[in-house]
Chain A
Amino acid sequence: MMCEFINKLLNISLPVILLTAGALHGQEIEISATVNAQQVAIDQAFTYTIELSGSKANSVKEDPVLPNMEEFATYMGSSGTSQNIQFINGRMSVSKSYSFTYMATKVGTFEIGPAEISYNGNKISSNKLTIEIVAGGAGQRGSSPRSRPDASAQGTSDLKDNLLLRVFIDKSRVYVNEPVILSYKIYTAVTVTSYGISKQPDMEGFWVEEFELPNPPPTKREMYNGKEYIVAEIRKLALFPTDAGKKTVGSMQIQCDVRVQNQRRSIFDSFFDDPFFGRSIKADVFSSPVNIEVLPLPETGRPASFSGAVGDYTMAAAVDKQTVETNDAIALKLTLKGTGNIKMLPEPEVNIPPDFEKYDPKISRSIERTGNRIAGSKVMEYVLIPRFPGIQRIRPIEFNFFNPRTSSYETIRTSELVIDVLQGDDEMSVAGAGLSKEEVKLLGQDIRFIQRNIPKLRRQGHFFYQSPFFIIGLLLPLVLMIAAILQRRHMDKMYENQAYARNRKANQLARKRLRRARSLLQEDTQKEFYAETSRALIGFLADKLNLSAAGIITDELEAMMREKGIDQETVASFMDCINRCDYQRFAPSDSTTEEMNQLYEQAQMVISKIERSIK
């Protein structure tokens, strides 16, 4: 017991020695190689680890090229990669490590060549290592601290043929999602008291279902390589490949306790060993890796609604009640049964008539992991609530899968389900769900009464805009408009003619009037003189502007003359004449002949001036 404890301590405290820092390639990538033990016993495993570090380590995509170790070790498989990214003070540091397991096969001291990795076209090499392989049980083995080098020193070399771990597959070419049955068997010619799996096989790219095996496993005798072994199946797996391509299942490592014949060498040995006859040694056994070729599912004949199920299935659908009242729940049970990856089985699409309220299904699975296949059933239970009465039909439910046995796609369907929905007591279904409070209140009310007034009936589809009245209504004003335009043009012409005539005659007429005024230029006919002069002036202007003389207001005249562009002086002179005439006419005062004469002269001058300004 003491010895074991010390051994353990020693193992833990022994530092893992990095031999060199590895080849430097700028600051970007560093590569270094390590082994977990400098000294190993023959037939024991050791781990070779390549570590990449530096800021660009993350961008290395290719796997490293391993050194050739065939001379002294066999490759057992990858024991994984790990990646570590750290940010320290804003600087990213990445390290990536690849581990590989080897088994020592030859005694001696060997050099492990550099591992290489290519990055940006450059090859970067790691450091070299040396390893010492010793006969019999070995020194520092990191992976199994409980091993007792002294005890196993003699046994292991004999064990090589007496203890085997063999792996069997039922087929090496499968379709995606078609299971490969992997079975691990111990072949032994010695007594194995117990065993434990010390390294799980690498099964990337597979969905794994483990078979249940009896414990302890039954044993049988079998001949292999001319030798009789006791065979026990210790592990059985179904692997469902998730995608196509060539795949490798890594090796599995188990550690067995093997009882060997006791060969006492010293008294102490027997003291420390177990009290029974014979002693126990630990032995590591490996299975070989297995290659499996995964074929993609064929394109030909693939149904459009294919959802990836592979296997062999049957399907059944049933409802718990054939007759149901509205708003009463029924259960639709859909059962898929068969062999295949039950856990990953997609659910078939179920078309429920829209008159049903459908809830998400309750899904239960049962998987049988005995015998030589993974089988089971998947049950989907839908709760449906019919909302409207009538015969409702649930259309056949279809399910597609690929059957690897026949290498073809198969479609299975259930029969149509007919459900007779009766009107339930619930009033709400008639009224329609989802009414607001206000609407419910409205629902209790009656419609408004009919119209009793006798209506003006009209032909259907006859609108006022199509009626003759409307058309006449549109045309008649148009006709009137045309008439009005013609009338207006006539009037304009007439007016123009009249204006022209009056304009021409204006001067003549004014002079005639003035002549008459002159004849009245006497003391006793003052009033007549002024009236005649005024008439001559206004008449002249009216003729010139084509206005009627009767309606003219003197104030307007002034504005009109200015509008016509008669100069200020003439206008003032004209207005002065008119004002004087009016004054003399209505407020009689005795004016002299001279004054009258002067007015007469002024009037004559104004008329000739205006005559000149308005042609």
Chain B
Amino acid sequence: MRRAVTYLIFSLIVMRWSVVYADHFSHLFEQASEAYENANFQEAIGLYEEIIDNGYESWEVYYNLGNAYYKQIDIGKAILNYERATRLLPDNEDIQYNLQLANLRVIDKIQSPPQFFFSKFVERIKNLFSIDSLSMIVLIAYIMTVVLIIIMMLVKLGSFRMMTKVITYVFVIVLILSSLLLYMKIHEMNHTRYGIILVPKVIVYSSPEENGTEIFSLHEGSKVKLTRAIDSWSQIRLTDGKTGWLKNDAFEII
């Protein structure tokens, strides 16, 4: 118990401190955006990357960096950063629009099989919230449920009792659904990794070796699901079901 409390206090201090430290990078962000506006895309890229290299992130940084790469016609990196922005903020119109534009310039047209209505629906709901906002919803629903139960336990409500009960049930349902969704998202984040091809062209082999049979080739900007890794090779799967092995230096994980 005492150790937990110490940890809590410590991490609170660290967070406070890091927010202060982040101010420096806010300044960098402003500089980068200025460079972008003056069409100094290379400089803007350098500055945005510096923020990220120092271990900070926000969807705006990724989005702006993606834009800068797009302007430099570096489509692979543009898509990589748009995808990273999407991960932090799944339902933003600007990100999705630019990502769509960038994807048009990708050579490989990978057909995704049609999805069932239900899985499509779940996917939509999942993309509606980021992990953080979902965590917030879980927390609020949880606190509200507890508070309402406490109130029902301690206070005589008379004719309000029924209404309070109904509201509590609503919060309980919200809590269950959002927790489930949060679990799914965290699980997906930790177990499903995607990569973006960053080299102009790469050959996908049937086995993790250079003299394996060539199955097909992929071009810059294509999104692949990473399913396994052996040494410097990764097994990938495309949305149309094709699988194969490619070298790790051909892509970057989103």
Contacts and interface: CB of A to CB of B under 8 A. Distances in A.
A450 interface: yes
B245 interface: no
Most buried by B among A388, A455, A457, A480: A457
Interface stretch (A146-154, A232-240, A432-440, A582-590): A432-440
B100 to A, nearest CB: 7
Given A388-B107, A442-B101, A445-B101, A459 B18 contact: yes
Given A354-B216, A457-B22, A463 B101 contact: no
A435 B153 CA distance: 63
B139 A474 contact: yes
B177 interface: no
Given A432-B109, A448-B94, A487 B139 contact: no
Contacts of A355: 201, 217
B58 A457 contact: yes
Interface in B101-138: 101-102, 104-109, 131-132, 135-136, 138
B33 A452 contact: yes
B57 A470 contact: no
Nearest to A452: B33
Given A448-B97, A464-B131, A474-B142, A456 B150 contact: no
Contact of A477 (B143, B154, B201): B143
B243 interface: no
A390 B104 CA distance: 22
B98 A448 contact: yes
Contacts of B98: 447-448
Given A432-B106, A450-B64, A477 B142 contact: yes
Interface string B134-152: 0110110011001101100
Interface residues of B, number: 63
A481 B146 contact: yes
B251 interface: no
Interface in A106-165: none
Task: Summarize B's interface: helix, strand, loop or mixed.
Answer: helix
B63 interface: yes
B15 A468 contact: yes
B56 interface: yes
Given A447-B98, A450-B33, A457-B26, A487 B142 contact: no
B173 interface: no
B11 A468 contact: yes
B36 A481 contact: no
Contacts of A456: 22, 58
B30 interface: yes
A473 B147 CA distance: 12
Nearest to B63: A451
Interface of B: 7-8, 11-12, 15, 18, 22, 25-26, 29-30, 33, 36-37, 51-52, 55-61, 63-64, 67-68, 70-71, 94, 97-98, 100-102, 104-109, 131-132, 135-136, 138-139, 142-143, 146-147, 149-150, 153-154, 182, 186, 200-201, 214, 216-217, 219
Given A448-B98, A454-B29, A468-B12, 15 more contacts: A432-B106, A439-B104, A448-B67, A450-B68, A451-B60, A453-B60, A455-B26, A463-B132, A467-B11, A470-B135, A473-B143, A474-B139, A477-B147, A487-B153, A487-B154
Top 6 closest pairs, chain A to chain B, by CB: A477-B146, A455-B58, A455-B60, A465-B135, A451-B60, A450-B64
Interface of A: 351, 353-355, 388, 390, 430-435, 439, 442-443, 445, 447-460, 463-465, 467-468, 470-474, 477-478, 480-481, 484-485, 487-488, 491
16 contacts: A443-B101, A450-B36, A451-B33, A451-B60, A451-B63, A452-B33, A454-B26, A455-B61, A457-B22, A457-B29, A460-B55, A465-B135, A468-B11, A477-B142, A480-B146, A484-B149
